[in-house]
């Protein structure tokens, strides 16, 4: 079969664009309505997306003119959506900095069981240093410490998923054996960050491990992805940049005894579709016109980690080089934004926040259906992506356009499935189910 791309749907309600809540078609008042969330999920499943994806972080500053960061727990959202969908994957962000391995192992095992093998975990290390305050910590961990903890965190979590084998439950009424104790493998782990003894109190997830997603683009993040990830979500702004990142990740796999197809590289892509190219650009400009300056400056402050709040939006945007490198914080997203500003001649804070208000540093495609698909096809065929994390500007309008017009064109060109051929998230991705360590020992 000809290789086909994978697609995730990035759910940011009421839309990815900072001013999406002010769009006339927006249903911003329904952000916390399960019927509204169900409608979105079922539309994505109708489009045969591999997975839904909800990002998450806490203690993002609030702004009176922005839909801000008021949201529900995405794990609970996905648990609810598992009951109203049948095949689409369910991917949620959870931090290794402000959780414990047992919590994560238990929650994602539960989601994988409830969904019959559709759970995905987007592993992050909490770049927002304000998270420390709400979790009662005196200070945020440094970048290197966060990734060191994440490495050990993942290892321990997998040991917990392995602690009771999938077929350990017998429920044999005649013999009186409910559990095969020989298939229970208590965890005894003593490391720098975790000292754990015990087991997960549920059988292994249906996928053995939920799909592991990683989104870091720093050196430590890329190395962690090469060792552990099934999917890498990334922000690349050009075909050439995408190709370099793609090769960077794939070239690291061999040292971990992994094959190139074992990891799917899926850059984010913000898609604005119009009947004509002019209409598409007008749609984008209209959304930008709805941005309130305080909200734009707040978002720019978050991404650059420089406080622009209260400044004149028409003042000059500072060059990244004037701040120098910080070994404890590589400021990956600021580097991306600064590169955009240089390349496109963006001079003021307003210029920059209008530019990133939609994409937030991701690749942007604007045009007709054919123009959009041409670009996706080029990245896919020229070694920059195995698929994409699709970012609609608004819900439901732009999601419907993508499902009803863009995806049929991808299908017509043989680039995307017309039907699901599997039932689990791993099967959608064409990834083999991990082998339990006890089976590895038998074959060695």
pTM: 0.91
Element (H, E) at 247: helix 239-250
Whether the predicted pLDDT of 35 surpasses 90: yes
User: Is 323 or 399 the better-scoring residue by pLDDT?
Assistant: 399
237 pLDDT band, cuts 50/70/90, is: confident
Quick: pLDDT tens for 157-196.
999 999 999 899 999 999 999 999 999 999 999 999 999 9
Token pair of 315 as six digits: 């003042």
CA 158/CA 410 separation, integer angstroms = 36
329 pLDDT band, cuts 50/70/90, is: low
Quick: pLDDT tens for 57-66.
887 777 787 7
The answer to whether 287 touches 408, Cβ cutoff 8 Å, is no
Alpha helices by DSSP H, 55-114: 74-81, 101-114
CA 316/CA 313 separation, integer angstroms = 8
Counting residues of the chain whose pLDDT is more than 90, the rounded percentage is 74
Whether the predicted pLDDT of 361 surpasses 80: no
Average pLDDT for the chain: 92
Residue tagged 């911003």 (tokens): 28
Token pair of 207 as six digits: 């996928």
Q: Are strands 119-124 and 211-214 parallel, antiparallel or unpaired?
A: parallel
The answer to whether 295 touches 66, Cβ cutoff 8 Å, is yes
Quick: pLDDT tens for 401-442.
999 999 999 999 999 999 999 999 999 999 999 988 877 654
356 pLDDT band, cuts 50/70/90, is: confident
292 pLDDT band, cuts 50/70/90, is: very high
CA angle 443, 213, 369 (to 5 degrees): 125
Residue tagged 């001013």 (tokens): 19
Whether the predicted pLDDT of 217 surpasses 90: no
Q: Is 150 left (phi over 0), alpha (psi -120 to 50) or beta?
A: alpha
**Which of 68-82, 350-364, 384-398 holds the top average pLDDT?**
384-398
* Cα Rg of the chain (Å, integer): 22
Whether the predicted pLDDT of 305 surpasses 90: no
CA 162/CA 159 separation, integer angstroms = 5
The answer to whether 163 touches 91, Cβ cutoff 8 Å, is no
Please classify residue 444 by burial: count the beta carbons closer than 10 Å to its beta carbon, then call 0-12 exposed, 13-18 middle and 19+ buried. Answer: exposed
Quick: pLDDT tens for 73-109.
999 999 999 999 999 999 999 999 999 999 999 999 9
pLDDT at 306: 85
CA 444/CA 132 separation, integer angstroms = 44
CA atoms within 13 Å, Cβ hemisphere of 241: 13
Residue tagged 């990683």 (tokens): 214
336 pLDDT band, cuts 50/70/90, is: confident
Counting residues of the chain whose pLDDT is more than 70, the rounded percentage is 95
The answer to whether 228 touches 214, Cβ cutoff 8 Å, is yes
Please classify residue 278 by burial: count the beta carbons closer than 10 Å to its beta carbon, then call 0-12 exposed, 13-18 middle and 19+ buried. Answer: exposed
Whether the predicted pLDDT of 255 surpasses 90: yes
323 pLDDT band, cuts 50/70/90, is: low
Element (H, E) at 197: strand 195-198
Quick: pLDDT tens for 120-145.
999 999 877 878 888 888 888 988 89
pLDDT at 410: 98
pLDDT at 443: 43
Q: Within a 10 A sphere around the Cβ of 158, how many other Cβ atoms? A: 19
CA 11/CA 116 separation, integer angstroms = 21
CA 188/CA 321 separation, integer angstroms = 47
Whether the predicted pLDDT of 203 surpasses 70: yes
């Amino acid at each position: 079969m000809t290789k086909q791309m994978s697609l995730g749907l990035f759910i940011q309600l009421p839309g990815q664009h900072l001013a999406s809540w002010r769009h006339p078609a927006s249903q911003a008042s329904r952000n916390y309505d399960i019927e509204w969330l169900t409608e979105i999920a079922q539309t994505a499943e109708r489009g045969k997306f591999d997975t839904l994806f909800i990002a998450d972080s806490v203690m993002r500053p609030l702004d009176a003119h922005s839909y801000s960061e008021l949201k529900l727990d995405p794990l609970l959202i996905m648990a609810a959506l598992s009951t109203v969908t049948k095949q689409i994957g369910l991917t949620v962000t959870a931090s290794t900095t402000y959780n414990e391995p047992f919590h994560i192992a238990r929650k994602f095992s539960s989601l994988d069981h409830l969904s019959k093998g559709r759970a995905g975990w987007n592993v992050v290390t909490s770049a927002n240093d304000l998270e420390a305050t709400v979790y009662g910590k005196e200070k945020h961990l440094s970048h290197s410490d966060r990734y060191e903890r994440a490495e050990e965190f993942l290892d321990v979590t997998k040991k917990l998923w392995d602690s009771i084998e999938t077929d350990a439950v017998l429920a044999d009424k005649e013999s009186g054996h409910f559990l095969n104790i020989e298939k229970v493998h208590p965890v005894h782990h003593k490391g720098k960050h975790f000292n754990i003894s015990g087991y997960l109190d549920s059988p292994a997830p249906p996928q053995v491990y939920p799909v592991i997603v990683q989104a870091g683009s720093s050196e430590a993040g890329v190395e962690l992805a090469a060792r552990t990830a099934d999917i890498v979500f990334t922000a690349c702004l050009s075909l050439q940049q995408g190709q370099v990142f793609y090769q960077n990740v794939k070239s690291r796999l061999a040292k971990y005894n992994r094959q190139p197809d074992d990891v799917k590289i899926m850059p984010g892509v913000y898609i604005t579709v119009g009947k004509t190219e002019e209409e598409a650009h007008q749609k984008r400009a209209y959304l930008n016109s709805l941005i309130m300056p305080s909200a734009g400056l707040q978002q720019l402050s978050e991404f650059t980690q420089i406080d622009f709040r209260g400044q004149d939006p028409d003042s000059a945007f500072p060059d990244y080089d004037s701040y120098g490198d910080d070994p404890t914080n590589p400021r990956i997203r600021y580097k991306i934004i600064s590169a955009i500003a240089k390349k496109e001649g963006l001079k003021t804070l307003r210029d920059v926040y209008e530019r990133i208000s939609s994409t937030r540093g991701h690749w942007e495609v604007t045009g007709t259906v054919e123009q959009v698909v041409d670009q996706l096809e080029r990245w896919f065929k020229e070694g920059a992506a195995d698929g994409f994390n699709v970012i609609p500007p608004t819900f439901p309008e732009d999601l419907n356009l993508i499902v009803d017009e863009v995806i049929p064109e991808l299908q017509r060109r043989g680039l995307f499935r017309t039907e699901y051929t599997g039932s689990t998230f791993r099967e959608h991705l064409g990834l083999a189910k991990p082998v339990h360590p006890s089976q590895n020992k038998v074959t060695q």
